Amino acid sequence: MVVEVVVVVIVVVVVVVVVVVVVVVVVVVVVIVVVVVEKLYSKVVVVVVVVVEVVVVVVVVVVVVVVVVEGEVVVVVVVVVVVVVVVVVVVVVVVAVPLVVPK
């Protein structure tokens, strides 16, 4: 029983850390995007990007919670990697497109 409790505690801590990191990363990305994009794009694009980021966070949190209920910690790592990749891609696209496409 003690081992199970320890595992649960570890999983919960990991999940909390993951969620916090994801939220922080997304907030930072959103701020960068808003600052960069607002100078180059219309308000609509800013709103779309922010909405996408929020959706990503919600999906990740839901997946992580489901994963913890199922007891698979490995999937959490996969989810984190996917999120990081998505965030990086979004940032690269947002920053690169204005450089290539004239306003």
> Residue 29 has what pLDDT?
73
> Residue 81 has what pLDDT?
67
Region 10-35: mean pLDDT is 71
Q: For CA atoms 44, 26, 88, 60, give the dihedral sign.
A: negative
> Residue 55 has what pLDDT?
73
Q: Which residue, 49, 86, 65, 70, is CA-closest to 15?
A: 65
| Contact by Cβ (8 Å): 33, 46 | yes
Q: What is the pLDDT of residues 34-89, one digit of tens each?
A: 676 666 666 666 667 667 777 777 676 666 666 655 555 555 566 666 777 777 77
Alpha-carbon dihedral of residues 28, 30, 33, 36, nearest 10 degrees?
Answer: -70
> Residue 99 has what pLDDT?
61
Residue 14: HSE in the Cβ half-sphere, 13 Å Cα cutoff: 19
pTM value is 0.39
